[in-house]
Each structure stands twice: as structure tokens, then as C-alpha cells.
Amino acid sequence: MKLTFMQVDAFTSKPFSGNPAAVCILPAAREERWMQQVAAEMNLSETAFLVRREDGFNLRWFTPTVEVALCGHATLASAHALWETGHLSPHEAARFHTRSGWLTALRQEDWIQMDFPATAATPAVAPAGLIEALGLTPLFVGQSKFDYLIEVESEEQVRRLRPEFHRLRQLPVRGVIVTSRAQSGDCDFVSRFFAPGSGVDEDPVTGSAHCCLGPFWSARLDKTDLIARQVSARGGLLKVAVRGERVLLSGQAITVLRGELLA
């Protein structure tokens, strides 16, 4: 049975930048093992699987090795795919039932705004090996529901970071966020995200990490509307609006590939 899939670059308006995600819109639910095999075959940081339901779509996300509870860029890519393929009209909201509850996305001209739960970090003691694996001196160490959050002194430190992935892979956590204030005037803060234990050494642009970064930088900069840049090799730009227990994440997306699954 042939199934159409799309590859979408998320959190960017230019092809071959941002974070690529595969999106599969399924006519009916498939078994978890098959979805994991497809995600491994795609070998992207996330592959999203959608199944229509009466009040929206069921949405699940898989890295090449595990299913995850929350993914921003593949949600953005999924909403983009639903509008582009006509599964939703341009002015219709995308509604997703996920392991993190109901998530919604709205089109705002060339941008897509997603409504996500905030996952604020609280101060924490770094687990053994974390700081050594990163090779840096932190200003702050915190832990959110999913990740460790490390603040460093400068954007240059974030950009030059070369972690020891084999050591990070041993930590009992989804990922590690490293962040600093931005040095340029076009954004408020920068970050990078590492998740070797989840099958992704470095994620190019991580929407879900900004559910933690938003509250963190909102408190430090005393502002609720922020511009963020993830400074991976591919890079990406996000608008982050903190609204109490929710974070509104906005980004752009572009389709770079369409194909058919034959298995």
C-alpha cells in the first residue's frame, strides 16, 4: 500500500536550513513497531505520523530510535503539511491530540503559531559527567520535565561547543539545552540542543526546548515576547511568547521533498 510522505524544513523560510521532519498522513493507525522502523529509515531527528479523528488529528513523533512525548518542529511541519495538502483549509486551526495533551497551530501570514505547555526549569545539581562532557563552566544549571538546561556566559561559547556525545549518551535524560544571551541585536537569546540518548546527537532547531527556554529568558530579560535563534550548523529562528503556563512558538516552514512509502 502506497503512503505519501513529505519532508519539511521547519523554523526556516529557506530550503536546506532549519530542522527537517518527515510527515506521514495515514488513513488509519499503524502499529508502533512499523512507525519506529519508518522513522529509522527516514533517519531524521523526527518523523511525525498523523491520523484524522473527529476533532482533529492524532499526532505521534519518533526519532530514529525512540518515540518522544513532545516535538515542536515536527508539529510545525505537520501543520504546514495539512494546509499544503488540503487536509485543512488555510483559515482552519490544526488540532493535535498527543502524549503532551492537545496542541494547536494557527496560520499567521507566513508564520505558524503553536500553543504548547510551558516546561520551566528549576535549579538542579548537574549529574556526574554532564559538565565534563560539555567542557564548559555554567552560570546556571536547571532541569525541566524533559531536559537539563545550562546557561553559559556568551554566545561564542554556545557556538564553539563541541560536546563528548558518548558521555552525554549515558545521562538519564532526553536532552541537554545550552543557552546564552545573544550578542547581536536581531534576537534575545541563542541555544543549542543535544540529545544523543534519544538518537539525535545535535538537533538543528528544537521547538520543545523553547518551552523551557521561553520562561527562563522571560524572567531574566523581563519581557514576555522574545526572538530566539538556535545556532546549530543549519540554524533556525523562532518567536517565543510566554503566556503563563503556555508558550506560543512561531516559525516558518517549507516543503523540500515528497515521496511514497512502499512498505
Residue found by looking up cell 493535535 in the block? 96
Measured on CA atoms in the order 37, 42, 44, 49, is the torsion positive or negative? negative
- The residue among 106, 93, 99 whose CA lies nearest residue 56 is 93
Whether 153 sits among the annotated catalytic residues: the reply is no
d(C-alpha 129, C-alpha 217), whole Å: 26
* Residue 96 · residue 59 · CB < 8 Å: yes
In a 10 Å sphere around its CB, with 0-12 CB exposed, 13-18 middle and 19+ buried, how is residue 165 labelled? middle
Distances (CA, A) of 107 to 29, 55, 92, 129, 152: 27, 18, 8, 43, 34
DSSP state for residue 187 in the 8-state scheme: -
Catalytic residue (choose from 32, 46, 67, 164): 46
* Residue 43 · residue 64 · CB < 8 Å: yes
Active site residues: 46
